[in-house]
Each structure stands twice: as structure tokens, then as C-alpha cells.
Amino acid sequence: MVLYLIGLGLADEQDITLKGLEAVRSCSKVYLESYTSILHVDDAVARMEALYGRPITLAHRETVELEADDILTAASTGHVAFLVVGDPLSATTHSDLIIRARTFRTPVPVRIIHNASITTALGSSGLAGYNFGQTVSIPFWTEDWKPDSWLFRIGENSHIGLHTLCLSDIKVREQSIEDMSRGVLRYQPPRYMLIPQLISQLLAAAQTHRVDYLDPDKTLAIALCRMGADDAPHRRGEKIVAGTLAELLQCTEPDAAQQAQYEKDDAQYEEENPMASEKDMEARREARFVQRALDYWGEP
């Protein structure tokens, strides 16, 4: 009996390798890890079930962290597949499951089936993978939590002439701090960090720490979106844009006509809602910012 960790590749259900597909079809139980990345199709699970010929169970973070024994128990009596978008070992996220399998009460053999990931697809940027240093993940900031240790990894890479791959955050089935403090089990809507949000946090951290290696007008960057995806009727394919950080931000700035319309709409809103707070107005501005980002960059 085997626990398969199978990479799905980057875009959709068809990116699985033939070896991976054969393994999935041999399994009595199939899990899809759904908290570190997503496929670029809206009905991914249904499409995967149709092609792979197996029912698929979504594995959320708590499934893997709190119910790993259930996965391993199933793998003790039959083949089990654990599907991961990209490559299953491109990060250390799933190493714990492998260690648990090998130290389970009845050790479970583990087989890894690799696939493409963003670390290989970044070659489409024109930059050589050999010239990249440490990869960093940029998490969503909150009012009270603004981690920026990644900034210094970027600095270390820059100091020795290496590029940095910055991965944007993804929030799936996350609880708010308020709900957790009240003991309320309620999940927030999924959130995916957009290119201008990532760049804004880069520049904010650089300004806070007064570093010179992230300059909005001098630092060059390449934005990679939906790598490996094809254009579809309701979803765009991959998008690659290069420029300075300031130029990439400018892609989603409102033009004069849009700004004038925003001001007119806000004035009308405040007239109709005299009790509107600054927080309400900020929420309106944020919603417009997100919509402009989606219009230009497309859905994540």
C-alpha cells in the first residue's frame, strides 16, 4: 500500500503527468491539497473527477495538520493519492506528511511524482533560474500584523547579484482574529494577493526600513500571472509584464476620467449616507483598487 504525493502542474486538470494519472487511477482514496495553491479553473474538482475517474476529497490545512492519521490509516490498507498543485516538494509544506507516513505505527511507503511548478515556469520571464537566490513569500498584512523579514532576504539576494522570486499570499478557509477570539467557527471568503498589493507591501517595508535596494523608479521587476494557463471564455491565460515597480503599479492607477467619476460617486454617497465613516470610504476605495487590478491583471 502506498501514499502517493502527486504534482498536478500549474494550470488545470490536464497538466498531470501520465505517471501521475496512472497512480491516481490505482488509488482507493484521492485528496486534493487546497490551501497552498489553486488550479486556474473554476470547476477544478469536477473536471479532475471526470478525467481521473476517482472521487476527490478536498484537504484543507486542518485536514492535513489534524487528521493526517486518517489519511495514513487509509494508506495502510489501500493506495492513497495526495494531489498538490505544482510540484509536491517545491516547498517544505508537505514534508511533515512524509515524515509522519514513514514513522506511522505501520510505516507507509511514500512515492513522489513530480511536476512543473512556478520555480520552473519562471523561465518564461526570460530570466535564468540559476540567477535566483532565496525565494520569499509575501503574506497579507493586517492593521496589527506586518511581518517583513522577507525584505532582508531580498536584500541578501540583491547584494550578491541574484534575483528574488516573490510568491503572493493565498487565504483559503481562514478565520478572522475576531472570530477566533470569540470561539466562532466561521471562515472568511477566499483571498488571493494581487500584483499591486504585493508591490505596495514591498515598497512600504522598504520605506519603513530605509533600504536602497527596492526603489520604485529604479528596481526592475517582472510580474508573472497564471503561468501555464490558456485563454478561456471566462478566464484569461498567463500574463507577463515587466517594468519598474512604479510602472507596474501605474498599470492599475485610475485615469483622470475615472478619478473624476470616483469623486462624484463619493460625494453622492456621503450625501445619501451622512453617517458614513472614513472606514466606509476607505472600503469603497479598496473595492475600486481591487476591481482595477482584476480588470488589468485578471483573476489570480
Contact 221, 243 (CB under 8 A): yes
Torsion angle of the four alpha carbons 231, 233, 234, 237, in this order, in degrees rounded to the nearest 10: 0
CA distances from 298 to 224, 229, 232 (A): 12, 12, 12
Rounded to 5°, angle at Cα 185 from 198 and 183: 105
Measured between alpha carbons, how far is 231 from 66 in angstroms, rounded to an integer?
38
Measured between alpha carbons, how far is 242 from 246 in angstroms, rounded to an integer?
11
Element (H, E) at 121: helix 118-121
Is 87 within any annotated ligand binding site? yes
Measured between alpha carbons, how far is 45 from 41 in angstroms, rounded to an integer?
9
Helix then strand then coil, in percent of the chain rounded to 5, is 45, 15, 40
Measured between alpha carbons, how far is 147 from 139 in angstroms, rounded to an integer?
8
Is 90 within any annotated ligand binding site? no
User: Residues at the annotated binding site for S-adenosyl-L-methionine?
Assistant: 10, 87, 117-118
User: Residues at the annotated binding site?
Assistant: 10, 87, 117-118
